[in-house]
Structure 1
Amino acid sequence: MGNYDFDKVIDRTGTHAVKLEALKRLYGRTDLLPLWVADMDFETPSFITEALRQRLEHSLFGYTEMPDNYWPVVADWIESHHNWKVEQEWLTYIPGIVKGIGMVVNFFVKEDEKVIIQPPVYHPFRLTPQGNGRQVVYNPLREEADGTYSMDFDNLEAVTDEKCRVLLLSNPHNPGGIVWNRETLVRLADFCYKHHILVVSDEIHCDMALWGNKHIPFASVSAEAAACSITFGAPSKTFNIAGVVSSYAIVPNEEIRRPFYRWLEANELNEPTLFAPIATLAAFSQGEAWRQEMLHYIEGNIRLVMEFCMVHVPQIKPLCPQASFLVWLDCRKLGLNHEQLVNLFVDRAHLALNDGEMFGPGGEGFMRMNVASPRSVIRQALEQLAEAVRTLQV
């Protein structure tokens, strides 16, 4: 028995939680179990809440300076957990990782230049460059016989031209839960360095490796990787503080870092909100025991999904993630088109998941399930899904 209660069901109504408030707009109904937005339905750990509460007791919320120990604590966490020694001058605050992608696109990519993504992948990788008027180039991941994915370097060579300026890397991968191995990252770094392509590595799920897997920071694998990359990270997924917005960037190469950070500073985009440093310091200085218990609980939820589907819904094959609380469900054996698949989950099973087409080419026939909820909720969702699939066969 652990010290934290992940079985506790938290009522989030009245808190303006996106996963509840947006149901009607996105799914057309509100009577759904929300297993879509990538935040957790576990209580934010008490040591973070207490740190914020102590600050709230001083009822004056004016301009503040970054605490002196902030970047040393962040750097120590990265080194101790990922064996990557990060110099403090490499680090800066950013107001969110998707916002950071938008900043990189606007700063480094001209309007007639291109951004490479590797779908199926987190949908803002496509939407953010496109929304900023940049062309997106697809290098789809290659699906292997066992349902896992690998990078297609032959196709990457074929689709890359002199207009390609940035490649967006999801590391660990969302939605597939892949922990990219060193060989793959080194090969990607060599390619991008050779072609003068800046790699933006979104590593927000880096502290959520499962089953003994180890996350490898992209910039740590070689001198070439460090020279051609910007890394984004945050404690927000791991410690369930997405609403606090406590993201950071890491840029080892001074020639990239100096102009980019100067632009961030000029626009005051590198200044955190009052509560972001407080929450981050509490998470990274007191959070290891909570993190370990949370990951163990998530593994139990994933195991439940895998075993339940095998027995009760064999037409749906979950890909067991190596990291994160997101499970990629292969629903292609149901034989449904996109509209029918969405109807099955939403109108028959009364579940809100992210449909696979959202993640681009290769996502057709898949659904992404967030299993970071109390086990009773996950079990209820699976039972509703099994009953909905049974109705298809009547």
Structure 2
Amino acid sequence: MMVQYNFDEIIDRRDTGSVKWHYSDDTIPLWVADMDFKAAQPILNAIEQAAQHGILGYTKPTEALYESIIQWHGSRYDLQLDKQNILFSPGVVPSLALMINVFTEVGDAVLVNDPIYTPFMTKVEQNGRALVMSALKEFDGKYQLDLADIEAKIIEHKVKLYLLCNPHNPGGRVWTRQELEALLALCKKHDVAIVSDEIHQDLTLSGYTFTPLLTLAKGYAHKVVSLTSMTKTFNVAGIKGSMIFAKDDALIKKISQQQQLNDEYELNLFAYKVMRSAYEDGDEWLEQALNYIEANIDLTISFLEEHLPDIKIMRPEASYLIWLDCSAYAQDNQKLYDKLRDAKVELNAGVKYGAEGHLKMRLNVACPKALLREGLNRVSAAFSGDVKA
């Protein structure tokens, strides 16, 4: 029997330790990438059942869990996995750091795009590698890979590893099969390993097709790794857990050995339970959530085009994050951020994502429409006076 989820429900998250809702005032958070939606009922049931069992001891992944992961990725993305292709990790960011240590040595160059999710940059530098950035090109309202610049940077800096974000955060691009094939060919030409963060894969929006990099890696599987998780998809980021996929046996062994160094290869009891429940029974919730998110994206774009037409909007192809160019309304990054905070609405400052984020902001629309409308009113008020959505 179909469950109809209520995404309009406003759930008070203040005073819960929430990172997103940490305020002591009535600020509306449209920033960090978690949703203000209650998790799918099967997930909540799985957590409750585990707690009611009463014994919360050491736990390992079951055959049923592996099968749920294999079925989800095979049926949705034609990514054919076997149990031996799958490793577990506390999160995608720890996995990025892990991959840096698997594929490079201290001092080696690692290439990322600009703009990019902040940990791509910080983990490279914190691990003593040389950070090399290739700016994405904006064309027709969306980002494109600058393959000529990428190749030039690879040659100039003797790059050993490329960290790809697909779908892209913060720009929301779902890289096409053709773009990925061209990038893969370039990396293969110069013997550059490529690690793809695919955590937003399941949030691909209607009209777009997500292509896992590993489906294209035949003949180069010893240098290709994908990272993903159910946490963004099903709004369970507080339950840490992710997966590492690789098709080459020797590479999987090397990654596993690196994990052993820090003892970071196990998840907790609830993460295993939630992961299996999400992949077995979460598709109904996800379909409804994506429909609601797409309606919120439409609402946001319509509102901004009407009331703040000088903001340049990059419509996302995946996720619930909208990349906004606010340069018409400010000349200083800190003043832009402060102007919105003074209006009691918080967005992510674009400058945190690299130089290309100058005077840009990232807006999260995964919340009940009433909260979104009020947040948009405050954005508008900050720039042009009080306007009602």
What TM-score, normalized to structure 1? Answer: 0.94
Give 1:65 shift: 2.4
Q: Give the total of aligned pairs.
A: 384
Q: In the alignment, which residue of structure 2 is the partner of 1:68?
A: 63
**Candidates 75, 83, 102, aligned match of 1:107:** 102
Task: Tell me which amino acid in the other structure corresponds to 1:189.
Answer: L
Cα distance in structure 2, aligned partners of 1:39 and 1:182:
28
Identical aligned pairs, as a percentage?
34
**Candidates 234, 251, 264, aligned match of 1:239:** 234
Cα distance in structure 1, aligned partners of 2:16 and 2:190:
47
Cα distance in structure 2, aligned partners of 1:266 and 1:132:
15
Where 1:12 maps in the other structure, the secondary structure is coil
Q: In the alignment, which residue of structure 2 is the partner of 1:149?
A: 143
Where 2:232 maps in the other structure, the secondary structure is helix
Q: Which sits farther off after the overlay, 95-104 or 333-342?
A: 333-342
**Candidates 361, 364, 371, aligned match of 2:355:** 361
Q: In the alignment, which residue of structure 1 is the partner of 2:15?
A: 14
**Candidates 298, 301, 304, aligned match of 1:306:** 301
**Candidates 37, 55, 75, aligned match of 1:80:** 75
Task: Tell me which amino acid in the other structure corresponds to 2:383.
Answer: V
Cα distance in structure 2, aligned partners of 1:378 and 1:104:
37
Q: In the alignment, which residue of structure 1 is the partner of 2:216?
A: 221
RMSD: 1.7
Give 1:267 shift: 4.1
Where 1:191 maps in the other structure, the secondary structure is helix
Give 1:331 shift: 1.0
Task: Tell me which amino acid in the other structure corresponds to 2:339.
Answer: L
Cα distance in structure 2, aligned partners of 1:193 and 1:237:
30
Alpha carbons 2:28, 2:345 under 8 Å: kept: yes
Alpha carbons 2:217, 2:224 under 8 Å: kept: no
Cα distance in structure 2, aligned partners of 1:303 and 1:278:
34
Task: Tell me which amino acid in the other structure corresponds to 2:9.
Answer: K
**Candidates 256, 260, 266, aligned match of 1:261:** 256
Q: Which sits farther off after the overlay, 30-39 or 208-217?
A: 30-39
**Candidates 183, 189, 194, aligned match of 1:194:** 189
Cα distance in structure 1, aligned partners of 2:82 and 2:4:
34
- Residues 132-143 of structure 1 correspond to what in structure 2 (within 5 A)? 132-143=127-138
Cα distance in structure 1, aligned partners of 2:292 and 2:28:
19
Cα distance in structure 2, aligned partners of 1:355 and 1:267:
33
Q: CA, structure 1 residues 364+2, in 2 after alignment: closer, same or farther (shift >3 Å)?
A: farther
Q: Which sits farther off after the overlay, 52-61 or 261-270?
A: 261-270
**Candidates 42, 53, 62, aligned match of 1:58:** 53
Cα distance in structure 2, aligned partners of 1:61 and 1:271:
15
Q: In the alignment, which residue of structure 2 is the partner of 1:332?
A: 327
Give 1:225 shift: 5.2
Q: CA, structure 1 residues 133+31, in 2 after alignment: closer, same or farther (shift >3 Å)?
A: farther
Q: In the alignment, which residue of structure 2 is the partner of 1:91?
A: 86
| 1:48 equivalent in alignment to 2:49 | no
Task: Tell me which amino acid in the other structure corresponds to 1:353.
Answer: L
Give 1:97 shift: 0.5
Cα distance in structure 2, aligned partners of 1:339 and 1:30:
21
Cα distance in structure 2, aligned partners of 1:17 and 1:224:
44
Give 1:224 shift: 4.3
**Candidates 301, 316, 326, aligned match of 1:321:** 316
Alpha carbons 1:309, 1:316 under 8 Å: kept: yes
